[in-house]
Chain A
Amino acid sequence: MKIALRVNGEAREVECSPWKRLLDVVREDLRLTGTKEGCGEGECGACTVMLDGEVVNSCLVAAGQCAGRDVTTVEGLAHGDLLHAVQRELVACGGAQCGICTPGIAVCAAHVVDRGLATSRDQVRELLAGNICRCTGYQLIVDAVMKAARDR
């Protein structure tokens, strides 16, 4: 089916099965490969995108469900060369290592910071609990999100 949706503020159209995963639409049809696949089961959060303003695992969303919806991927967080505060702080704090989980963490953290939900380290840990990192541990990531929340 033809699916018209907004991606990172732009009107886009794809033609695919309504059963195709949003994750695959984003990576294959839209060539936005910043979004990564980790587990494909909604456990790891690597494929996190925003859908109508909420964070979701894009591996669990059917393409048909995205018709007329608004999607923001990690590519949509920065404005040109100007990084989102959480991206800047993830770089500054060293809150990344191998990088597979980083796009999902950036999207989830941007949502959390922009909504004013990053009120404490405990709160950030709970809200980011759906994003699993197997390299760094979470200390530097939480540092980055708290700094980004303070910057804004």
Chain B
Amino acid sequence: MTEYVRPRALDEALAVRAAHPDYMVLAGGTDLMVNANHKREPAGIIDLWRLPGLHAITTSDDHIAIGAGATWLEIQRHPRVLERYRALAAAAREIGALQIQARATLGGNVGTSSPVGDSLPALLAYDADLELASVRGRRRVPYREFCTGYRKTQLAADELIVAAHLPNPDPSSTTRTAWRKVGTRRAQSISKVMGAAMIDLDRDRRVRWARIALGAVADRPIRITAAEDAVRGLPLAEAAEAAREATIAAIAPIDDVRSTSAYRREVAGNVVAYFFSGIIS
């Protein structure tokens, strides 16, 4: 029968993780438990749900640290997230629905790093850093480097994800963020295309720089650097069209059960153009 361990502290969790690399690391279970009754039982479960400290959200003047165990419900209701990280809050509100948001965690979305993980383009747009820990110590990895392929990450067999650190958008700055998901339905559906952007404007409302990220258009969530380069210095309306064209040329999405490559390409162009017209904050 499956072994079950509920560590009482992070140190204990890391020791168990190091001793049992074959055990499943489980928190909210919204991904790993799908059709669990038809899956082979794991050798063991390391249950990180509500591990003390792991679900904390802490803020400082220059950044926010979101514990890996924080749920998307906790994240979308956090006052600082609502105030300064609206694209992340918007993503959190469209991950599944209430029942999923009450269990699914930031660490789960990041750890799986599925190309359709709804929060991941937002983490790219905010240029988030991940904090990883093992019995060997702690390290920081930019999310941009963390996901290395289709559901492949840099996480070592003895490591756990502790938190995501998002730099604080300067409250006096001119950066805006946007987020958009396209699926068959707003709630519950797995995205056909989704993405996030952070856009900095100068006084004449020309684009100083932009970080543009999309999900479901490649084997992993990606930054669209060609579009970022194309929009520099342009007024918003022109930037929207330049970003659309550059995006359509840059991506090579796949055909699958949820959508076609051609549809994804066109919609991705629309989503990116929308970022420059429908800036939300």
Partner-B contacts on A (CB < 8 A)? 1, 17-21, 24, 40-43, 45, 48, 54-57, 59-62, 64-65, 67, 108, 126-132
| Cross-chain contact A45 with B47 (CB below 8 angstroms) | no
Residues in B neighbouring A59, C-beta threshold 8 A? 33, 36
With A43-B188, A62-B29, A65-B26 as given contacts, are A1 and B4 in contact (CB-CB < 8 Å)? yes
> What is the chain B residue whose CB lies nearest that of A67?
B6
Find out whether the CB atom of A108 lies under 8 angstroms from the CB atom of B99.
yes
Q: What's the nearest-Cβ distance from chain A to residue B250, in Å?
A: 32
A1 touching B34 in the complex, CB below 8 Å, given contacts A42-B100, A56-B103, A61-B29: no
The winner among A19, A20, A67 for most chain B CB atoms within 10 A is A19
Are A55 and B99 neighbours in the complex by a CB distance under 8 Å? yes
Q: Does B202 contact A (CB under 8 A)?
A: no
A-contacting residues, B22-75, CB 8 Å:
26, 28-30, 33-38, 41-42, 45, 47, 49, 73
Q: Min CB distance, A78 to chain B, in Å?
A: 21
A126 surroundings in chain B (CB, below 8 A): 187
Q: Shortest distance in angstroms between A144's beta carbon and chain B's nearest beta carbon? A: 17
Contacts of B97 in A (CB 8 A): 45, 127, 129-131
Give the chain A neighbours of B36 by CB distance below 8 A: 19, 21, 59-60, 62
**Closest partner residue, chain A, to B103 (CB atom):** A56
* Additional pairs, 20, CB under 8 Å, beyond known A60-B103, A129-B98: A21-B33, A21-B36, A40-B38, A41-B34, A42-B30, A45-B97, A55-B98, A56-B103, A59-B33, A60-B28, A60-B34, A61-B33, A62-B29, A62-B36, A62-B45, A64-B45, A64-B47, A65-B29, A129-B188, A132-B188
Taking CB atoms and an 8 Å cut-off, the chain B residues in 96-128 that contact chain A are 96-100, 102-103
The smallest C-beta distance from A106 to any residue of chain B, in angstroms, reads 14
Tell me, yes or no, whether B140 is within 8 Å of chain A by CB: no
**A18-B188 in contact (CB<8A):** no
Distance of A108 Cα from B102 Cα, bound (Å): 12
Report whether B98 and A127 are in contact in the complex, using a CB–CB cutoff of 8 Å: yes
B102 touches A55 (CB 8 A): yes
Known: A61-B29, A129-B97. A54 touches B102 (CB 8 A): yes
Q: Looking at A42, A127, A131, which has the most chain B CB atoms within 10 Å of its CB?
A: A42
A60 to B98, CA, bound (A): 14
**With contacts A18-B45, A57-B99 known, is A62 near B26, CB below 8 A?**
yes
Given contacts A17-B2, A18-B45, A65-B49, whether A130 and B34 have CB atoms under 8 Å apart is: no
B156 within 8 A of A: no
Task: Let me know if B1 is at the binding interface, CB within 8 A.
Answer: yes
Distance in angstroms between the alpha carbons of A128 and B96 in the assembled complex:
11
Name B186's contact: one of A20, A64, A65, A129 (CB within 8 Å).
A129
Nearest-Cβ distance from residue B40 to partner chain A, whole angstroms: 9
Q: Is A64 within 8 A of B30, CB to CB?
A: no
Which residues from B are CB-within-8-Å of A131? Answer: 97
Query: Please, could you name 20 A-B residue pairs with CB atoms under 8 Å apart, sorted by A?
Result: A1-B4, A18-B4, A19-B41, A19-B42, A20-B37, A21-B37, A24-B37, A40-B37, A42-B30, A42-B100, A59-B33, A60-B34, A61-B33, A65-B6, A129-B98, A130-B96, A130-B98, A130-B99, A130-B100, A132-B188
Given the complex, which residues of B lie within 8 Å of A20, measured CB to CB?
A: 37
Q: Are A62 and B33 in contact (CB under 8 A)?
A: yes
User: Using Cβ atoms and an 8 Å threshold, which residues of chain A touch B102?
Assistant: 54-56
Closest chain B residue, CB of each to CB of A1: B4
Name the CB-closest residue of A to B24.
A19
Report chain A residues within 8 Å CB of B34: 40-42, 60
Q: Given A54-B73, A65-B49, A130-B97, A60 and B37 touching (CB < 8 A)? A: no
Q: In the complex, which residues of chain B have a beta carbon less than 8 angstroms from the beta carbon of A64?
A: 2, 4, 6, 45, 47
